[in-house]
Amino acid sequence: MIFEHLTIISAILFSSIIAIGLFSIVYFLIKVSGLGLHIEKLAAYECGFYPFEDTRQMFRIRYYLIAILFIIFDLEIILLIPLIAFYPDMFFLSDNDFLLYYYQEFFVIVVFLVIITLGFSYEWMKAALYWE
């Protein structure tokens, strides 16, 4: 029974030895080089301010504006990726029924890109993307 699974057991053992060996080498190099953990790296926040001050510290509204704009454009790109990913596959379809669907999807992509471009140009005109 053990001989039937010898290749699987040896592969798992070999992978484990390599993983433990690489971990040991990296751990040893960190300890020898002195690039270990510092108090700043143990902090919960690494974004430029000291996290142990008053919790009612005021943030500029610009941070929130950039974050909201990033989320909006990120979601728009996520919605656009499936359309663009499926679009080249439609060239290989020979049925005439898919021709109407092809033009509909092209129209959806163009309208979506126009809306994204209008939103981006509005943000540009309002100087929402300029960092002061």
Residue 60 Rama label (left phi>0; alpha psi -120 to 50; beta): beta
Identify whether 119 is part of a domain: yes
Greater pLDDT, 12 or 58: 12
In the structure, what pLDDT confidence band is assigned to residue 40 with cuts at 50, 70 and 90?
A: low
Over residues 36-41, mean pLDDT: 67
Q: Are residues 1 and 51 in the same domain?
A: yes
Domain check: are 17 and 68 in the same one? no
Instruction: For residue 15, tell me if it sits in a domain.
Output: yes
pLDDT one-digit tens code per residue, 42-79: 666 656 666 566 666 676 777 788 888 888 888 888 88
**Burial of residue 67, with CB atoms counted within 10 A of its CB: 0-12 exposed, 13-18 middle, 19 or more buried:** exposed
Three-class secondary structure of residue 43 per DSSP: coil
pLDDT band at 19 (very low <50, low <70, confident <90, very high): very high
Task: Look at residue 39 and tell me if it is in a domain.
Answer: yes
Residues 41 and 81 in one domain: no
Q: Is residue 131 part of a domain?
A: no
* 66 and 48 housed in the same domain: no
Q: Which residues contact 120 (CB under 8 A, 6 or more apart)?
A: 73
Given 40, 58, 76, the domain boundary residue is 58
Domain end position, chosen among 9, 30, 58:
58
Does residue 115 surpass a pLDDT of 80? yes
* 40 in the same domain as 66: no
* Cα–Cα distance for residue pair 129/61, rounded to 1 Å: 12
Report whether 73 contacts 116 (CB < 8 A). Answer: yes
Residues 25 and 43 in one domain: yes
Q: What is the pTM of this model?
A: 0.45
pLDDT at 14 over 90: yes
Q: Give the chain's domain count.
A: 2
Q: Which domain holds residue 50?
A: 1-58
